[in-house]
Amino acid sequence: MTPSTPSGCDRQALLTVSAWPACQNQAVNLAATLNADLHCHSTISDGTLTPEALAARAHAAGVQLWSLTDHDEIGGQQRAIDAALALGLPYLTGTEISVTFAGRVVHIVGLGFDHTAPELIEGLRATRGGREARAREMAASLAAAGIPGAFEGALKYVGNPDLISRTHFARFLVDGGHCSDVPEVFRRFLTEGKPGFVAHKWASLKDAVGWITRAGGAAVIAHPGRYDFTPTEEYALITEFVAHGGRGIEVVTGSHTPAEFTEYADIAREFDLLASRGSDFHCPEESRVDLGTLPPLPDSLTPVWAALADRIHRPTTVGG
Ligand code: AMP
Ligand code: MN
Ligand code: MN
Ligand code: MN
C-alpha cells in the first residue's frame, strides 16, 4: 500500500499506511483531534521518570501517539519504542535540541527521525559535551553567592552523567531549603544576571534542523511563547528555521497559555507550518501539565503527525 498523508482538513482520517520500520500495520488515527503528546522528558535528561514509566503514564492517561523528547540526547529512544509498542501505543522518535539563536537559547524538537543516524547521534553528543564544565562554573557561581557544594549536590539528581542540567541544580536548591519550589529557583537563580547563570553556546539553528531533517524527521520550534523575542526577532527565527528546512511549531504546549494556543495557531497558518502538541512533562511533583491532558489542536491546522505517518512506530497488535 502506498503511504498517504491526509490534508489538514482530513480531520477524521483513519489511515493504514505502510509502517516504518517494516512491521505489521496497525491503523493509527491521524486526526487533528488525536490525543498526541509529543514532548516530555525522562531520567535520560531532566525528567524524574524512566522511559518505561512515562510510556505507562502516557498510556494510562489516554495518549494515542507518544514521543519522548529528552534534551540533546536520544539514548532513551529504543527503550521508549519498546515500552510504547508493548503497551500498544504508537510512537514517534523524539529529542529536544538546545540551540543558540541571536544570542539566546531556543529549543528545537525533532520528531520521527531514524534514531540510529550517525550524524544526529554525533551532533547531539557534541551539543551536550560542554554540560559538565558549564555545571562546574554554575556551582562556582552559586558558591560565590553563599551556596557551596552545588555540583555534587546536583549530581545526586542526575540520571545520565552526560546530561547535567539546570533542572538538577533547581532540585538541589529546593531540597536543600534554599528555595520553596522550582519556579522560585528560576526567579532567583540560574537565569541571566542571577547567581548560578553561565552563558553557554549550544548548537546552531542550521545544524539542529539539518541533523533532524537528514535523519528523516521533522524539526519543530518548541514552546515559541516562552522566548522573550520581539515580533521582529520571532519573525527572524521562524523564517531562518524554515529556510533551513524546519517544518513545524508547537501550538498546544504545557508552556503556553490558552491565548498563546490561539496566537501560535495563527502563526502556524501564516507560515504554513505543521502544528505540534506536547505537555513538556518532567516530573509528577513539578510539572503543571501532565501527559495527555492538554486541549486538542485548534481548528484547521495540519498536525505534524499527519506529515509523519510513515515514521510512526506502530504496534503489531491493538493494545489494551
Ligand atoms: P538547561 O538545558 O540545563 O539550560 O536546563 C533547561 C531546563 O531547565 C528546561 O528544559 C526546563 O526543564 C528547566 N527550566 C528552565 N526555565 C525554567 C523555569 N522558569 N521554570 C521551571 N523550569 C525551568
Ligand atoms: Mn527540561
Ligand atoms: Mn524546552
Ligand atoms: Mn522540554
Residues 157-197: tens digit of each pLDDT: 999 999 999 999 999 999 999 999 999 999 999 999 999 99
Q: Which ligand gives the minimal distance to the CA of 280?
A: 4
pLDDT at 316: 87
Edge to edge, the sheet with strand 248-253 lists 94-101, 104-111, 218-221, 248-253, 274-278
CA of 96 to the centre of ligand 4 (A): 6
* Contact (Cβ atoms closer than 8 angstroms) between residue 281 and residue 287: yes
Residue from 44, 99, 186 to probe ligand 1 pocket by mutation (most atoms less than 8 Å from CB): 186
Question: Which parts of the chain register pLDDT below 50?
Answer: 1-24, 319-320
Write the pLDDT tens digit of every residue in 133-152: 999 999 999 999 999 999 99
pLDDT at 25: 55
pLDDT at 20: 43
DSSP H or E stretch at residue 206? helix 205-214
Is cis: bond before 148, omega within 30 of 0? no
DSSP H or E stretch at residue 86? helix 77-86
pLDDT at 88: 97
Give the residue carrying C-alpha cell 483531534.
33
Task: Give bridge partners of residue 29 from the DSSP assignment.
Answer: 14
Distance spanning both ends of the chain, measured CA to CA: 26
pTM value is: 0.92
pLDDT at 22: 38
pLDDT at 232: 97
Residue 71 Cβ inside 6 Å of ligand 1? The answer reads yes
CA of 71 to the centre of ligand 2 (A): 7
* Contact (Cβ atoms closer than 8 angstroms) between residue 90 and residue 319: no
Write the single-letter amino acid at 208.
Answer: A
